[in-house]
Amino acid sequence: MNIYQIDARIEEILMRTDPDTGELPEDAIEELTALTEARNTKIENAACLVINLTAEAKAIRDQEKALAERRQSLEKRVESIKLYLEDATDGEPFSSPRVSVKYTKSQAVEVDDDFWQFAPDEYIRTKQEPDRPAIKAAIKAGKKVPGAELVEHINLTIK
């Protein structure tokens, strides 16, 4: 029986209250007690599952972080070895039965620090996104911000 079924059954039992005395039959009290215990157990188990899954997610996140650090370290090592190869080959191709090293040309745009002062707008991208902290402060101060509202959420905390 799930929590919804338990709640429905508890409600049915409470409807069996004697209208004159307000008492429940003895068998109803026993069943109500058992249902309440089952409900509490299910809620406790669900909360424990949240704690376990949260711990597992944290462990995975920590492992991801450790793997990302390893990857970054390896990538830095690769770049260092590439610089060594560039220096060792002096820009000349190298070939052996196991490996081939060659150089190709490519183009990239480099932008100076003062580019922003003189560049026409057509060469500048701007990402527009709402300034949520400023909007929140304005709404709290009583200002109306079209298209925005302050919504209150109820967050579940399990420890």
Q: What pLDDT, in 10s, does the model give residues 118-143?
A: 888 888 888 888 889 999 999 999 99
Calculate the CA 6 to chain-centre distance: 33
Mean pLDDT of 96-121: 87
Answering whether pTM is above 0.75, one says no
B/e letters for 40-73, b = 16+ CB within 10 Å, e = fewer, are eeeeeeeeeeeeeeeeeeeeeeeeeeeeeeeeee
Does residue 84 have a pLDDT over 90?
Answer: yes
- Cα(149)–Cα(84) distance, rounded to whole angstroms? 57
Instruction: Report the candidate in 32, 37, 36 with the shortest Cα–Cα distance to residue 23.
Output: 32
Tokens of 32: 């109500």
Listed in sequence order, the residues at least 6 apart from 22 whose beta carbon sits closer than 8 Å to its beta carbon are: none
